[in-house]
Structures are given as C-alpha cells and as structure tokens.
Structure 1
Amino acid sequence: MKYLFTLWITGICSLSLSAQQTQKPVLHGRNWMAITGKPLAATAGAMIFQQGGNAVDASCAMLAATCTMWDTLSWGGETQVLIYNPKTRKVIAINAMGIAPTGATVAFFKNKGYDFPPEFGPLAATTPGTPGGLIYMLMNYGTMSLKQVLAPAMEMASGYPIEAQAANTIERQKNLIKEWPYSKKIFLTHSGEKREAPEAGEIFVQKDLLGTLSKIVAAEQQALQQGKTRKQALMAAYDRFYKGDIGQEFVRGCQEQGGLITMQDLEKWKPLEEEPLMVNYKGIDVYKLQQWTQGPVLLQALNILENFDLKAMGYNSTKYIHTLYQAMNLSFADRDFYYGDPYAAPAEPVKGLLSKAYAKERAGLIQFEKNNPDIGPGDPYPYEGKVNPYRALLKSRGFEQDTGKRNFAPKHDMGLNLPDEAYMDRLWRGTTSIEAADKEGWVVSVTPSGGWLPACIAGNTGIGMSQRMQSFVLDSTINPFNVVAPGKRPRVTLSPSLALKDGKPFLSSAVQGGDTQDQNLLQFFLNVAEFGMNVQQAAEAANFNTNQLWLSLGGTRMDDRKPKAGQLLLNNSTGDAVRRELSKMGYTLSFDDRTSGPVNAIYFDWKHGSLWGGSSNHGEDYGIAW
C-alpha cells in the first residue's frame, strides 16, 4: 500500500491515478447533462431538457435561476459563453460584458481618492449584460420561448426556500446592505430583529424581480400575439429591458443612489458574438474567450508547458508544482499588462502572446532550482513583426526587456506578506458556472457573474447592479489596455473553457474563483489530458494557487492588489517531502483543504456514446443527467 501511494505521489504509476476514489460519483448521461452552481438551478435545466429544449435552452434556464438565487451573481451582472454548434462544428463566443457608464473616467475616480474603482455600490456598476446575453443565446441558438426558459426563475422569484450560504451572506453583509434602500427592502426580511436576514429554508419572495421578469415575458408574448416572428418577439423583450420602462426604472434607481448609468448607456450596449481564441495542446484544440477576459492566460500557459514532459514529472511532484507555478506567473504577468477590451484602443498584441515561438522564449526563463520573484511581462510584439510601443514604460517600471539581465522587479509590485483573510477573499471572489450538453451535439460553457451579495439593487426592478468596474485600472503604467473609460469593457476574470479533439467535443469546463479560475482550469485540464483522470477525479484533485499576480477584484488601494511573490497555496494533502523541497526553493507556503473553486465539467465519451459529468466535492454545485 505504501508502495502504491508513493507511485501515485510521483506520478510513475498511472493506474493508481485512474483508480483514485472520489467523494462524489461521476455523473453519467446519454441524452443530456445540466450542471451548475446551485441544486435548484440544475433542476431548472433538467426541467427544460425534459420539455424538449436543447443545451442552450437549458443553459438559459440555469442562468436565470442562478441569477434569481443571488450570493454569487444576479440579473444585473455579466455573462460570458462558449458554445459548440454541431451544425457548423465550430465554437462560438458570446460577449455579454457590460460597459463603463457615462462619466466613468480616471479623473472622476481619482478625484474621489480611489486607486481603483470601488468594490461595491452604484459606482462599481457597469451596464447589465446578463439579460441581453441570455436573450441573444436563446434567440440565435435556442429553440424555446423566453416564457418557457424563464418559468423556473419566475416561480422561484415568487418564493423559494433560500439556502444557508446566501442567507448567511446577507446577514454578514447587512450593515452594507442597509446603506441602499432598495436592497434593504428585499434582503432584510426581519428588519430590526437580531437576525435581519432570511433564515435558511425560509421562503424568500422577490416581488420586484418577479415584476421585471413578467414584463420581459409580456413583451415577448404580446409580440407573438401580433404575429411577430420568434426572433422579433425576443427582440421586443430585449428592447423593453434596455430601451423601455424597465431600463428607465433601472437608471432612475441607479442614479438616485449616486450611480452613473444613463439610458444612453443601456441603449448603445449590445451583446457581441466573437471568434474565440484557440491553441492546440498535444492534439487538443483548447478554446477560450478573447482578451477582455483572463482566458488567454490558460492558452499561454499551455503553450509554455508544451515544452516540458509534465507526465514524467509526476502529478503534484515538487518539479511539477514548480513548473506550473512559473508558467502561470509568466502568463499572468502578460495578462496584468497586455489584456483589455479589444473594441477599444490600443490594440492588444494577442497574436504575439499566443505565438508558440513566444511561449518557447518565455519557457526558457523558468529557473528550475528556485522561484523567480522578478517575473514580469514579456515582449510579444516581435512575434507579430512589430516594435513594442510600451518599451519605455516597461523600462520605467523596471522591466528591462532589451538586456540579458531580465530585471523584472518593479519595487511597487512586490510584497512578501503572508496571505490574509481579506486578500484571499479577493483572490477567490466567486461567481458560478454552467455546463450543458445534449444528444444533438450542442455544448455550452458559461461563467456568469456580477451583482453578487451585498448587491445594490437598482430602484424597484429587483435587479442588483454589477460590481465589475473594480476590474479596471486608473493607472496606465499598470496596464495601458485596461484603463477605465466610458463605453469600455473591463478585463474580467470570467473564463469558461471548451476543448475539441479530432474535431469533436472533448471537454467542457468552468470554475468559480476570481483570479484563480484559469489556474484551476489549467490544472483540471492537465489532470485529464496528461494524467488520465476522469472528470470527477480531476474536479476533486488537489490544486495549488499562485498569488504572484495583480488582483482583479477587491480593495481600492494599490497595497490591496499587489502581487505577493513566491506565495503558494497548497492542499493539506501535500506530502512533507514536497513541502520541504518547495520551501527550500524560496516559496512561502500556506495550506487549506480547499485549494480550488468548484469545478464543473463534461467529458465526451465517443467510444461509448455517453456524457461524463464532474462537479467538485465542495460548495453547492450540482448536476443532473439523463
């Protein structure tokens, strides 16, 4: 037994990995699969599948249900989607990220004393993206009506038993919630009592939200009664939200509480369909959203890691952990400086960032004897045949890219303090994820977020406003591509994944957890692709996290977000020998029994014609299949 355990730790024996026991069983299905962050929301997806809907219809129902259940997101947030279309055999991306409103300028926030836009309240809000994103998905790739896919969410808005996690979050955040009258009215159901939040299991009623959803559906149904097409009817629902009375009340409630969003901001925004970014890793095509997300970090890391024999290193061996840690740091350094909204100037050097040759250069920087605390952004421009326009800026920050010294240590970027509770909350700050697939071949991976508790509700809409403005920077020396400006999208952490092999779906996955999302999705993917784990084993497997990056969420001061070089979060199960070796290599170690947000995933078994679902063994994430 001791011998087998040793083989498992070093990765020499693949059989011990493939036989690894899990706390939750693999989810098997033949016809469809629905997995998301809340059990009731997974049931909503199953209801739509049972009514004959496809994976897009079911995803819309799960998205609506999770938004109605709060905690990690709500209706005023943002949605980002990857869809495999079996008719075209292509992966498409949907960008339903809201924009910075009128008046959201660097000067505005700096005059208020911020180093970054605020975490909470109306000034943290971008325009709502989720309603428009849901309608766009449904209109172009679904089969059902809005009335059908919103039915579970509307039933929940009329009253559902709230789960403990959301109820207790409301209680913990009640002092902040009390600052916003519309939030106080909805969330503090026992105002003035010792516990003012709902109790776990209490029937939580949201009359305002039900009214808003009813108006959207009424617009669709009225259009259909007038002889309009399905698409025209869905656009009528869209217009009522973004151009009609719902939008007007949203704007009024936002501005009443000090927010900046205008009707013009709502009217000019629209969801966008995009080409996803892709790299091939050892025969597997891995797709991510564009550089307005952190998704390309995973692609860059895979390009770097392709230069090494990871399987020979062994799963979670010292060398494996060190190599992935360094590859992630190299990729995140590029994210922190080069990623931003592709629809706003300047243009990001994405072609260079995803170049295999650039990745090989970056891989050559890895020092195998110790952690490198001085890793910084590289220079991808030569790999596009261009000269880097920011060389002077990088040099002024201490990033010497044109010398052999590679001095990547700007003084204000580094801090070696141990992770504190507030920092780790910002690193892990969550969302939810949605995975769906059906027998026709539709596959959907979604990472929606925004409007989480404590949410500032906009007027009598029942809709919590997004907090995504905080992901912008106010200082162009940190990232010249992600400086706040009206009409611009922030560079977000939200990052679903899809992978194809031999031209067919191979793996669909997503995870919650802020800046850790692509760290954990990278390890999950390698668990399957390199070590042969099934999706449930891979979802439960011990991960590790780097803090050597700029945080994307939380805090309004530089010190709140600075990279913490060499900080490494390991699972409690990590062996003593690995701990000692990593400490000698310059790492500052911390430990937890939870080292990843809940991973949700679907594996496509073409040999047997079935679906395999995985959902982490912690959190509330849940799946149903048939």
Structure 2
Amino acid sequence: MKKIMISLFACLAFSVIANTEFKQHNIVVDDQTGKEVALREDGRGDRVVGAPWATRSPVLAVNGMAATSHPLATQVAIDVLKDGGNAVDAAIAANAAIGLMEPTGNGIGGDLFAIVWDPKSKQLYGLNGSGRSAKGQTLAQLKAKIGDVSQIPNWGTPPVTVPGTVDAWYELHGKFGKQSMAKNLAPAIQYADQGFPVTEVIAYYMDIYQKRYEKLFANGEIEEISNYKSTYLINEKSPTEGQVFKNPDLANTYKKIAKGGRDAFYKGDIAKTMDAYFKRIGGPLRFDDFASHTSTWVTPVSVNYRGYDVWELPPNGQGIAALQMLTVLEQYDLKKMGHNSADYLHVMTEAKKLAFEDRARFYADPAYHDIDLSYLLSEAYGKQRAKLINMDKAATQVEHGDPKLIEGDTIYLTVADKDGMMVSLIQSNYRGMGTGLVADGLGFIFQNRGAQYSLTPGHPNVYAPNKRPFHTIIPAFITKDDKPYMSFGLMGGAMQPQGHVQMVTNIVDFGMNVQQAGDAARFHHKGSTSPTWEGRMNDGGTLELESGVKASVVRELQKRGHKVHITSGPFGGYQAILKDPKSGVYHGASEMRKDGQASGY
C-alpha cells in the first residue's frame, strides 16, 4: 500500500512539473523591460491596434466600396463606379469577372440571388434568379435514370437545372442599371481574352476538381470530360498559382450576351448549342427550358434582432434558417456568455439544429409549396423552440416545428456607390465547379443544383418537372431605423445560415467591426437532416471548430455531448460593407480565408 501511495505521489509530482513546463514553454523574459512575455508561436505578426487576432483594419471610403472574393474583380467593380456606373453595374461587372476568375465557385452556368437597397425609393428589393428542372423529365424518369439510390447524384446530367444568372443580370440591370451591359461585361471579356494570373486558393481547388472529374469520368458518373479539359486545363493540367489562364470560349459567350442581351443566352445561338449538347450526351434540358426561363422579384423577409432588422430572401433559399436561429438566440444573453465560450457555442449549435430541422421539412419552391413565414419567424415560435434547448446537454435528435407549417462551393460580393445604393449578391454552381459538363465551345460549367431535390414523394422539395430546387445560396442585409446598415454574405453550403448568424452576433452582441467579425474563429455544425430528407439526424452531428477556439472550451463542449472536430474548413467566405449611420462612410471587409479584397475610393 505504501509503495502504491509513493507511486501515486510521484505521478502527481511529475504531472505538476509537466504541466508547469507545458504552460511555461512559450514564456520568455524581455531584456528591455525585464518582464515575462507569452509568445503566440504561430508565425503571425502583431497588430498595434484593434483585436490581436484580426488580419487587418476595415477598408474605409466615401464614394464607393466593393468587396469580392477576388482582388481583380474588386478592382473591376471600383473601375465601373469611377467610370459612372452604379452599384448594380459594378456588381454585374464583378460577377462576370469572378465567373471567369473563380470557376471553382460560380459562373453563368449557375444561379444568382440578390438584395438591393435603392436609395430613391428607400427600400430593399429581392431577386430570385434560380433556374428550374427540365419540363420533359418526370420524377419516375429521373429515378429510372439514376437507379436505386436515395439521392440525386452531384455530377453529370442528373442534377442539371437551367442556369439563371444571365437573366438575373438583365433583371437587375433593367430595374437599376445605369450604364450599358456591353460596358459592364467589357472588363471580363478583356480578361478572358488576354488572361489573368490564377490566385492561390482557386488554384488549390482547381487541382482538386481536375482529379475529381477525371475519377468520376472513369467511373461513368460524368458523360463527357473533353470539353472541361479543353476549357480549364493547360497542357492537361489545372493551372497553378501565378500561371496566366485564358478562356477565349467564355469571352465569345460574353460577347454574344453583350451584343444580343439575355435572349442571346436563352433563345439564341447559345441556347441552341446547350440544347444540342444535352441531346448528344443524354441530358434532360431542351431549348424550351431555356427559352421559358424567368427570374422572380421577391419581397425580402426580416426579423428584428436587438434593434437591428436582419433581412433574407424567402424560400426556395435557406435564408430564413438564419432568421429562425436569431429568433431563438434572442432569448439568451450572448454577450454575457462571452464570444466563442462554451455556453455561446453550445446555444448557437442547438439553435442551428432546431432551425435546420424545419429547413429540411418545409423549405421548397413556393410555387409548389406554401409556408407560413410570419408564423415561422414569429417571436412566439422562437420562444417555443428555445425551450427545447438544454444548456447542459447536446441534443442528438430534434423534431421539426408545428405540423401546420406544412399547409402553409459559391461566391459572394457586395458593392455600394456614392448615391447610397447597396447590392448584396451571391452566385453559385453549387458543389464546387459544378457538374463537370461544359457545352461545346461555351466556356462555362453547368451547375449541379438539382442534387438538392428530394426523391421522397410528398415532401415539399421532391423533384418535379419545371420546379426550382431547394437552394443554399443566400444574400443578406441589415437595416437599422429603416436605413441601410450592412450588406453582407457568407458563402458555403449549409455554413451560410450559421455564418450569417455569427456575423450578426459578432457585430450586434460583441461590438466587432466588419473585418473582425469575419476574422474571428467560427463554428460549423454538420449532420442535421438534409433538405433532400435523406437521413434524419440521430447522433447530434459534428461540431467543427477552428483552432482559434480555446482548448478549455472544446473540453467543456465535449463534456456536454458534442462531437468536436478541429479543422480548417468548411467555414465559408465572407464579404461585407457597413454604412456608418452618422458619417455615411463605408466600412468594407473581405474574407481572410479566401483570395478576396475590399477596396473603396
């Protein structure tokens, strides 16, 4: 017994010494002050003012501001503003440029959503520029094509829907644009013809998708790959960082659109080429699907969060999931909990689980399914759902809300101009570069958004002909006292509602500036029931965290039953422009996890 006790004391002594050494290994004595200093040892420099973990200060300007995920696209937007175009012109020009420069996230083969603050009418306008499924393909025909699987594949022709971006450009331009569309598209055409150097993050993802597409083609999951290779590879390899990339096919497509308008894409030579391509490879889309496409102007919806009105677009997007989370979170004092504390991350994660269960059950194309948004976003419903959260234990399963409701990879950019117009725009091919399919000589990849249809008969989001799928991409906006406050977004699939809420709470509850809000360590919860209704959550999912979160917090979250994974992704990509309500000065921010830039003048 005596030997055992001595052994225990020895172990305890060793533990204390080891812990002391562990705690002290980063402590040094400053020779000038004589004081002990703790070093971070992460290789990063120090800031003289502001949050020590922030990457930089916000960008400030008065006449105009642009924040995009690519520096050259940001410069395109600023050039348009300086040349007399307004925020909508600049947003379209930047989006066209990013479609060329960041094909890993977007392009004219995808869809677009936007929120615009119009200073003349002093109100917000919402645009749903998402495309629909083929008119000539039924659910039974789709199932026969994909075989005995529980969800629609992400690649090849099965998930293809009509691209909505080009029509959305012209809708935005027709309502708000100031200079000609030919002028708006000119910078992207020039870059496509003359080339541009590929940036670090985009080169990384282009390499990933080359390997993925080649494997998928070898497995018969993509009908053809030669058009992708001729468009996006250089000497049979994806471009590397700094390598100059050109896309003359996309330049020609842009030129046709600039000259012939949206009809050149949906009713002209481009539409005929797309029709012929899908006939050749066995895809469902036909000329009439393109010719009949329309975008829809919608009314943004909001909730008031501690005096700030946070705006999103209604379904078929998932924006209202962010608003649902906020109605739950308003029942808690997040500031008192502390940013990225165990209590904060726990309640945020549990609120997300609740909102996403409703997302999985109710969100769908409103032309096919009505949903009572006023009830879903009400304070009473938020309080009711908040009561389901146990602060001591992570939920492994949650149910969707009141059954009566049944009755009822992406880029983000934002631009503001000297007159006060602000544009919040998001555009995507859905998963990464999209289906892998490039129509003959057109220079862009078709989106795989149709993978988000459910295959379950009776579900609101079940596949049907000429129907819009559930959408993950969501632009956001904040107003205060009926005046524009912040245009923002955070791209990245299911990360988006979670990311929007984190940005709102970072600014409203914790007083961060627009750059700090984006730089702060984030969480991402995965494993909720999907909008395709494939696999209900029954194990609580996984809480993904960045390494900036404290170890003591991680241990406490694990103690409460969260399965925690420390990783570098997926935490999305953020841009924002905040307008100071007193001075009118724009504060711009861009995501440090991407290649982007905010700039103003």
Normalised TM-score (structure 2): 0.86
Distance 1:588 1:254, change over 3 A: same
The one of 317, 322, 339 equivalent to 2:363 is 339
Distance 1:262 1:379, change over 3 A: same
Distance 1:599 1:174, change over 3 A: closer
Q: Spell out the pairing of 1:170-249 with structure 2 (5 A cutoff).
A: 170-174=206-210, 176=213, 179-191=224-236, 196-219=237-260, 237-249=261-273
CA contact (8 A) 1:75 1:130 kept: yes
Shift of 1:336: 0.6
> How many Å separate the matches in 2 of 1:360 and 1:208?
54
SS in 1 for 2:554: helix
Shift of 1:594: 5.1
The one of 545, 553, 558 equivalent to 2:524 is 545
> How many Å separate the matches in 1 of 2:460 and 2:545?
32
Shift of 1:19: 4.6
Shift of 1:369: 1.3
CA contact (8 A) 1:543 1:595 kept: no
CA contact (8 A) 1:551 1:563 kept: no
Q: Spell out the pairing of 1:442-453 with structure 2 (5 A cutoff).
A: 442-450=421-429, 452-453=432-433
> How many Å separate the matches in 2 of 1:151 and 1:135?
15
Distance 1:174 1:546, change over 3 A: closer
Q: Which has the larger radius of gyration?
A: 2
> How many Å separate the matches in 1 of 2:403 and 2:166?
36
Q: Spell out the pairing of 1:222-621 with structure 2 (5 A cutoff).
A: 237-344=261-368, 346-379=369-402, 381=404, 430-450=409-429, 452-453=432-433, 455-476=436-457, 480-551=459-530, 558=534, 565-593=540-568, 596-621=571-596
CA contact (8 A) 1:55 1:437 kept: yes
Moved more, 264-273 or 350-359: 350-359
Which residue does the alignment assign to 1:396?
Answer: none
Distance 1:567 1:169, change over 3 A: closer
Distance 1:331 1:197, change over 3 A: same
Paired AA for residue 350 in structure 1? L
SS in 2 for 1:623: strand
> How many Å separate the matches in 1 of 2:181 and 2:443?
19
> How many Å separate the matches in 2 of 1:506 and 1:389?
35
Moved more, 433-442 or 570-579: 570-579
The one of 158, 162, 175 equivalent to 1:123 is 158
> How many Å separate the matches in 2 of 1:604 and 1:20?
24
Paired AA for residue 126 in structure 2? A
Q: Unaligned 5+ residue runs, structure 2?
A: 1-26, 28-36, 38-47, 218-223
Distance 1:89 1:352, change over 3 A: same
The one of 54, 57, 72 equivalent to 2:89 is 57
Shift of 1:350: 2.1
SS in 2 for 1:461: coil
Which residue does the alignment assign to 1:66?
Answer: 98
Shift of 1:200: 3.1
Shift of 1:105: 3.0
> How many Å separate the matches in 2 of 1:577 and 1:542?
15
> How many Å separate the matches in 2 of 1:318 and 1:168?
33
CA contact (8 A) 2:547 2:567 kept: yes
> How many Å separate the matches in 2 of 1:183 and 1:562?
36
Distance 1:583 1:168, change over 3 A: closer
Deviations along 1:60-107, one digit per CA (max 9) or x if unpaired, are 001101111211111110000011111111111001001011344322
Deviations along 1:519-555, one digit per CA (max 9) or x if unpaired, are 01101110001110000111101111111413469xx
CA contact (8 A) 1:304 1:360 kept: yes
> How many Å separate the matches in 2 of 1:317 and 1:184?
47
Asked if 1:139 corresponds to 2:174, the answer is yes
> How many Å separate the matches in 1 of 2:594 and 2:323?
27
Which residue does the alignment assign to 1:230?
Answer: none
> How many Å separate the matches in 1 of 2:381 and 2:160?
36
Which residue does the alignment assign to 1:76?
Answer: 109
SS in 2 for 1:435: strand
Shift of 1:598: 2.0
Which residue does the alignment assign to 2:20?
Answer: none
Shift of 1:558: 4.5
Deviations along 1:592-624, one digit per CA (max 9) or x if unpaired, are 255621211111112222011111222112111
CA contact (8 A) 1:349 1:380 kept: no
Shift of 1:165: 3.7
Distance 1:457 1:509, change over 3 A: same
Distance 1:587 1:601, change over 3 A: same
Shift of 1:160: 1.7
> How many Å separate the matches in 2 of 1:602 and 1:110?
44
Moved more, 75-84 or 171-180: 171-180
> How many Å separate the matches in 1 of 2:485 and 2:204?
38
Shift of 1:189: 2.5
Paired AA for residue 172 in structure 1? I
> How many Å separate the matches in 2 of 1:563 and 1:539?
31
Q: Unaligned 5+ residue runs, structure 1?
A: 6-15, 220-236, 383-387, 391-429
CA contact (8 A) 2:461 2:531 kept: no
Shift of 1:358: 1.1
> How many Å separate the matches in 1 of 2:316 and 2:407?
20
Cα RMSD of the aligned pairs, angstroms, is 2.3
SS in 2 for 1:147: helix
> How many Å separate the matches in 2 of 1:594 and 1:165?
13
Asked if 1:149 corresponds to 2:181, the answer is no
> How many Å separate the matches in 2 of 1:257 and 1:78?
22
Moved more, 366-375 or 210-219: 210-219
Paired AA for residue 204 in structure 1? F
> How many Å separate the matches in 1 of 2:241 and 2:344?
42
Paired AA for residue 248 in structure 1? K
Distance 1:174 1:317, change over 3 A: closer
Shift of 1:45: 0.6
How many residues were matched structurally? 541
Distance 1:575 1:189, change over 3 A: closer
> How many Å separate the matches in 2 of 1:517 and 1:580?
26
